[in-house]
Amino acid sequence: MRRRRRLYLSVLAVLALLLGAVIALPGPAARADVIHPRQDFLRGSTSGLFLHWGQRTAPAHTSCSGWESDVTSGGWSADYWVQEAQKLHSQYLVLATFHSRLGYARPWPSKIPGSCATKRDFLGELIAAARAKGLKTILYMTDDPQWHDEGGHEWLDSAAYSAYKGRDIDLTTRDGFGEYSYDLFFEAMDRYPDLGGFWIDNDNAYWERNNLYSKIYEKRPNYTLSNNNEDTPIMDMVSNEQKTGMSPAYDYPQAVYTSAPRLIEADFKLPSTGAWWYDGSNPSVDRKLTLGRLVSNAGSSVKALMAETAQVNGKFPANQAAFNDFASGYLGPIRESLNGVEGGGYLHGGLKPGFWNDGAHGVTTVSKSDPNRHYVHVLTPPNTSTLKVRDNGYKVTGVTDLRTGAAISFSQSGGTLTLTGLGDWDAYDTVLKVTTADREGIIDPSSYTMSASASASGHGAAAATDGDYQTYWDSNKTTPVSLRFDLGSAKRVQYLAVNQREDSVSYARSGTEQSARIKDYRVYVSSDGTNWGSPVKTGTLPSHRGVAIVDLPATTTRQVRLEVVTTHAASTDTTRYQRLRIDEAWLGTAYAGGGSTPAPVRYEAESAASSAGSTVDTDHTGYSGTGFVNTPNAAGAYVEWRVDSASARSAPITFRYANGTTTDRPADVIVNGTTVAAGRSFAGTGSWDTWADFTLTVPLNAGPNTVRLAATSAGGAPNLDYLEVRP
């Protein structure tokens, strides 16, 4: 929401004036400087160039002087790296030469013996060349001595370092190496005040015992610290290394486990095969995967650290060099959609990203300077000429193709922006520029009185509507759990929106790394806060990043209660099981641009196929059509509807049911013969005359489909009135 956006900008302005004030992130990273002026260049960046380059760069050298000679005679130039970074539209470089697998070389004249140090100041030249073009250089430092004899050669000189320190120190131990590298941090800080900071490969106990990180900030307040694969609280940024297994494959942010506004980085190789460093090969660069990662990261406010494999002379293999040339021209016309923006559909407002209609997928970005300027990045196009994007309450005033400037036909209704007449989809990223006239139809969250059935200490319900995404409501690992909105007076309510905290992956990587997002939910309304009746909406939310929206039957009420029945994480995931954290939630009185929810297509149960022994009855009130279906009290009892769809898509479907018992009647939802939701709960509704809705999203094929609800217990299925499918 725009109000929250202004708050964020105001906070940054105050921090800049205070020059050193920090805001602490609640929870595990409580000591982190979450927002600090020294981070400005990283927060303003879209991407960086990661350079693994050292003695073991092919062809490997065991002689430090021999490697330096070949680097120089090969024509190494810092300007070349800076130019290649600019082609990728990167704003910083990370130099990984003091690397455990590359020989622990220092690319600067060092007074501290212990591993290779060059006479030529390669690092100093790179810092100067980058600074001249407005880029920063960050130095990679490792904590790990375990590869000291990699390739059958000893890369660390314990005797020389011991003589320098005046006592015996074994650099092949973690403590000995920790002391050695600790000294190198300070040497680098003394030599290079213009260094951007350090990119640290995990932690070393020696560093921690000696308060290395706080001493770095004290000595060089302008430096930033990043850590690889560890959320070390005192550091500025958390990096996530080469996660794979997402679907779509380019949607790297699905693997992110740290929540914004903490700085987050995704580091990945441009060549999809081979080592992180040059190993003598010339692997191909998957353009769609690489550009998709860059764009999807930008659409999630995640910095993309792209690794290329520099050769001894600094040049890149032909395929990577060709990609850089291509990227320079390709990214130019869409630069405004990737630079000076934040990821849309989460903390900073913007249209909803993710899984759209007809197989489409992508992200959205929103301008930092103008919160009414948005960009829709279609990375996987729909298989039709129409794109439907949830508008998140923004009143749209215009849509154009960013590359061509051509106007795009659009309409807006029921909370959805529909773009028509699309075609000639770009092979990698079709970018649509969307202008809006702010948000409308949102009840001011500051007017709510919030309460919850359970809350963790320091994370009460009020944090879910305070306009500050650094605070959040925490359910204290309690499910079911309810979050209640008291509007103060009766108001029209059309939908409920929830921003869940993005501190867990949004797909199940394993039994111990799953999503902590809402799964099954119920929504109730009440005029007095005492009498709630049956839920006005029940359903299942997917484990996706971005705003989760629950459309409600339009009603006028004072009280709204969101009951979270389950979350996605399994009981084996002890960290995330039953964990629920909500940054912000709000209610909409009406959809932006007018209109209402598109009328769903209703399929009566009495017209559907059903299992033997089922009857069409009329002995309970409130049903639709000519009756309802009463199945036998047996596992496997079912009702099956035929559903026609104009296209292949993910569609919300709603079962209308009644269960007059106090015993749950669970059932599987089976679409085209495949179980898409197993053992879904159909709890008691209070009486057989009281009907409730159960909604979930299912995949439909183009043409005819079958949707079956099949009982999984001896009680059989609930009474079924109809199935509705949203167009």
Query: How many structural domains is the chain composed of?
Result: 4
Backbone angles phi, psi at 291, to 5 degrees: -65, -35
Arithmetic mean of pLDDT over the chain: 92
Q: Quick one: three-class SS letters along 67-120? A: HHHHHHHCCCCHHHHHHHHHHCCCCEEEEECCCCCCCCCECCCCCCCCCCECCC
Specify the DSSP element, H or E, that contains 47.
strand 47-52
520-542 as b/e: b if 16+ CB within 10 A: bbbbbbbeeeeebebbbbbbbbb
The answer to whether the peptide bond before residue 233 is cis (omega within 30 degrees of 0) is no
Domain annotation covers residue 504 = yes
C-alpha R_g of the chain: 29
Domain annotation covers residue 13 = no
Question: In angstroms, how far apart are the furthest CA atoms of the chain?
Answer: 95
Residues 447-492: pLDDT tens digits? 999 999 999 999 999 999 998 888 999 999 999 999 999 999 999 9
The string of DSSP letters for 431-466 reads EEEEEEEEE-SB--GGG-EEEES--BTTB-GGGGGS
Q: pLDDT class for 24, splitting at 50, 70, 90?
A: very low
**Mean pLDDT of the region 9-34:** 38
Statement: residue 1 has pLDDT above 50: no
Burial class of residue 387 in the structure, from the number of CB atoms within 10 Å of its CB (0-12 exposed, 13-18 middle, 19+ buried):
buried
* Domain closes at, from 310, 333, 356: 333
Residues 40-89: pLDDT tens digits? 999 999 999 999 999 999 999 999 999 999 999 999 999 999 999 999 99
- Rounded to two decimals, what is the model's pTM? 0.81
Q: How far apart are CA 471 and CA 510, in angstroms?
A: 29
Higher-pLDDT residue of 6, 335:
335
Domain annotation covers residue 38 = no
Domain annotation covers residue 433 = yes
pLDDT at 671: 96
Residues 295-319: pLDDT tens digits? 999 999 999 999 999 999 999 999 9
Statement: residue 187 has pLDDT above 50: yes
* Amino acid at the residue 105: A
Question: Which residues on adjacent β-strands are paired with residue 474?
Answer: 581
The region that residue 250 occupies, defined by phi over 0 for left and psi between -120 and 50 for alpha, beta otherwise, is alpha
Does residue 189 sit in helix, strand or coil?
A: helix
Among residues 385, 448, 387, the alpha carbon closest in space to that of 589 is found at 448
Burial class of residue 363 in the structure, from the number of CB atoms within 10 Å of its CB (0-12 exposed, 13-18 middle, 19+ buried):
buried
* Domain closes at, from 439, 471, 489: 439
**Percent of the chain whose pLDDT exceeds 70:** 95
The region that residue 244 occupies, defined by phi over 0 for left and psi between -120 and 50 for alpha, beta otherwise, is beta
Q: pLDDT class for 510, splitting at 50, 70, 90?
A: confident
Among residues 142, 176, 141, the alpha carbon closest in space to that of 159 is found at 176
Are 80 and 180 in a shared domain? yes
Higher-pLDDT residue of 677, 593:
677
Among 232-236, 290-294, 535-539, name the most confident range.
290-294
Domain containing residue 668: 601-725
Are 328 and 351 in a shared domain? no
Q: How far apart are CA 690 and CA 644, in angstroms?
A: 29
pLDDT at 646: 78
Among residues 162, 140, 158, the alpha carbon closest in space to that of 149 is found at 158
Are 280 and 153 in a shared domain? yes
Are 427 and 555 in a shared domain? no
The number of helix segments (H) and strand segments (E) in the chain equals 11, 35
Q: What is the CATH number of the domain that holds 670?
A: 2.60.120.260
Specify the DSSP element, H or E, that contains 510.
none
Compute how many other C-beta atoms are within 10 angstroms of the C-beta atom of residue 673.
7
Domain annotation covers residue 235 = yes
Question: Using CA atoms in the order 72, 76, 77, 78, what is the torsion angle rounded to 10 degrees?
Answer: -100
Do 96 and 102 touch, CB atoms closer than 8 A? yes
Q: How far apart are CA 701 and CA 643, in angstroms?
A: 10
Q: What is the CATH number of the domain that holds 372?
A: 2.60.40.1180
Do 307 and 270 touch, CB atoms closer than 8 A? yes
* Amino acid at the residue 135: L
Tokens found for residue 285: 């660069």
Q: How far apart are CA 49 and CA 190, in angstroms?
A: 24
The string of DSSP letters for 572-607 reads T-TTTTT--EEEEEEEESS-TTS--PPPPEEEEGGG
Are 265 and 119 in a shared domain? yes
Tokens found for residue 567: 């979350």
Domain annotation covers residue 31 = no
Are 302 and 449 in a shared domain? no
Q: How far apart are CA 271 and CA 511, in angstroms?
A: 30
* Domain closes at, from 419, 439, 459: 439
Are 153 and 102 in a shared domain? yes
Please give the DSSP secondary-structure letter assigned to residue 65.
Answer: H
Are 382 and 502 in a shared domain? no
Are 247 and 322 in a shared domain? yes
pLDDT at 717: 96
Are 433 and 455 in a shared domain? no
Domain annotation covers residue 24 = no
Are 264 and 202 in a shared domain? yes
Are 293 and 347 in a shared domain? no
Question: Using CA atoms in the order 346, 366, 252, 514, what is the torsion angle rounded to 10 degrees?
Answer: 0
Do 538 and 561 touch, CB atoms closer than 8 A? no
Domain annotation covers residue 277 = yes
Q: What is the CATH number of the domain that holds 237?
A: 3.20.20.80
Statement: residue 9 has pLDDT above 80: no
pLDDT at 598: 55
